[in-house]
Amino acid sequence: MNSVRALRFAEILPLLLLSGSTALAAAGPQGQDWPQWRGAQRDGVWRESGIITKFDGPEIKIKWRVPVSNGYSGPTVANGRVYLTDRVTEPASKERVLCFDWETGRKLWSREYDCDYHGVSVPDGPRASVTVNDGRAYSLGATGTLHCFDAADGKVLWKHDLNAEYKIRMPDWGIASAPLVEGNNVIVMISGEPSACLAAFDRETGKEAWRALPDRATYSSPIVIDQAGKRVLVAWTADRIVGLAPESGQLYWEYPWKSAGPNIDPCVTPAWHKNELFFTSVYGGALMLGLKQDKMGVGKVWEKKSNSRLTESLHTMFATPIVTDANIFGINYFGELRCLDAKTGANVWEDKTVVPKGMWASAHLIPNGDTTWILNEKGQLIIAKLSPAGYTEIGRSQLIKPTTGQLNQRGGAVWSHPAFAYGHIFERNDEELICADLREKKG
């Protein structure tokens, strides 16, 4: 059997799991919320202090655990509540939106709806994280069911069957890009027709505000940045990278960069650092764009193409890299942790100990102060320091076990992005949602 077909690359891309969006860091009951995909500012940074600097043992003590079903979506946390989506198949296929008390794991509410996964490869469950904003929780299912709930009690405020309404050209691995709230709109990437790759809805009423682009969708979640005195929606479609006006969908600028492989593969969220945007995918390689500051526009700073051996630069499947003034840190296609020169894209160093080697191997990198927290696909939580000089591991402990729904190979995987809030970590696999206390012990 052809080895590529045997590995069924197409079957794992769904981990697009990673998705959501919202505003600035909100103060929760005992710290900061994590109310959307990659945190309050959608940049993957954990900004709380008073966190442990080492582990007590080989396994992390779990504060609480609750049973859940299959899914790739990562948890989100806001106003003392934890939100998650999953999928059950008995007695019928349904997606669920779940809400738990952050301190005890007690279920506060659950809402479910019929969902036919016909045509979606690897039907392990929803991909996009719930986005919580101003008392509302927005969920987007793998086939395009968009809900707005009252975040406190789960009452449905409005909903759309986007597949029926917009004739979605369904991506192979379903809809994965999480809802993004900006101003009065909630924005989704859905690959709809006509010219509805992206669509925006009034966040209170659900009425369509705008639709834009005839492009095919990817699994990458858009972000909003500041450029030339304006807010700009940055989206990575299968045909190009674009900057749009988030209030109207007006096209400000574009940079052609088509998906280069046999499948649409961009999953990584655009990484914005000061006046630059960084993009990486398995087939496309790595691209750094510079943002014009006196007007709307972008220009290429450097680009590194992929190659058959994937030996240069960064070719990332799932986990968004960290970008600093001098360097880029990210996980390459086979699990190598790499450091690049941010000015040129050249390789600086490589480490192969963070995650075992394997196709699509992944680990999420979350900066916190001068350290980086890493959750690898084996469910191990790592405290490390990343610098131009190399990788220094401070400690490693088991947090949660891998499950085979997300990846039915090499003993399973944990691909869902964790949430960090109130000094705790929240993570899921295909069997449970867990919470662990990472606060520094006093006295």
80-124 pLDDT per residue, tens: 999 999 999 999 999 999 999 999 999 999 999 999 998 898 899
- At residue 308 the predicted structure's pLDDT band, cuts being 50, 70 and 90, is low
Given a cut of 70, whether residue 20 has pLDDT beyond it is no
Structural domain includes residue 443: no
What mean pLDDT is predicted for residues 293-314? 86
Torsion from C-alpha of 190, 193, 199, 204, nearest 10 degrees: -100
**Helix/strand/coil (H/E/C) assignment for every residue in the chain:** CCHHHHHCHHHCHHHHHCCCCCCCCCEECCEECECCCCCCCCCCCCCCCCECCCCCCCECCCCEEEECCECCCCCEEECCEEEEEEEECCCCCEEEEEEEECCCCCEEEEEEEECCCCCCCCCCCCCCCCEEECCEEEEECCCCEEEEEECCCCCEEEEEEHHHHHCCCCCCCCCCCCCEEECCEEEEEEEECCCEEEEEEECCCCCEEEEECCCCCCCCCCEEEEECCEEEEEEECCCEEEEECCCCCCEEEEEECCCCCCCCCCCCCCEEECCEEEEEECCCEEEEEEECCCCCCEEEEEEECCCCCCCCCCCCCCCCCEECCCEEEEECCCCCEEEEECCCCCEEEEECCCCCCCCCCCEEEEEECCEEEEEECCCEEEEEEEECCEEEEEEEEECCCCECCCCCCCCCECCCCCEEECCEEEEECCCEEEEEECECCCC
Q: Is residue 91 reached through a cis peptide bond, with omega within 30 degrees of 0 on the bond before it?
A: yes
The rounded distance, in Å, linking the Cα atoms of 229 and 181 is 19
Q: Bigger pLDDT: 12 or 128?
A: 128
Structural domain includes residue 442: no
**Residue whose structure tokens are 């006509």:** 194
- Dig out the tokens for 398 from the structure: 């088991």
What mean pLDDT is predicted for residues 258-284? 88
CATH code of 376's domain: 2.130.10.10
Amino acid found at 16 = L
Structural domain includes residue 372: yes
Structural domain includes residue 72: yes
355-371 pLDDT per residue, tens: 999 998 999 999 999 99
Structural domain includes residue 386: yes
Given a cut of 70, whether residue 307 has pLDDT beyond it is no
Given a cut of 70, whether residue 334 has pLDDT beyond it is yes
The rounded distance, in Å, linking the Cα atoms of 57 and 60 is 7
Please report the pLDDT score of residue 258 as a whole number: 87
The sheet with strand 285-291 has its strands ordered as 271-273, 276-281, 285-291, 298-304
Given a cut of 90, whether residue 266 has pLDDT beyond it is no
Record the pTM.
Answer: 0.93
Give percent above pLDDT 90 in the chain: 86
What mean pLDDT is predicted for residues 246-258? 97
Structural domain includes residue 162: yes
143-199 pLDDT per residue, tens: 999 999 999 999 999 999 999 999 999 999 999 999 999 999 999 999 999 999 999
* Structural domain that includes position 47: 3-437
Please report the pLDDT score of residue 259 as a whole number: 79
Please report the pLDDT score of residue 283 as a whole number: 86
- Length of the chain measured in residues: 443
Q: Cβ-count burial of 426 within 10 angstroms (0-12 exposed, 13-18 middle, 19+ buried)? A: buried
Number of domains in the chain: 1
Structural domain includes residue 360: yes
Structural domain includes residue 36: yes
What mean pLDDT is predicted for residues 229-248? 97
The rounded distance, in Å, linking the Cα atoms of 48 and 11 is 36
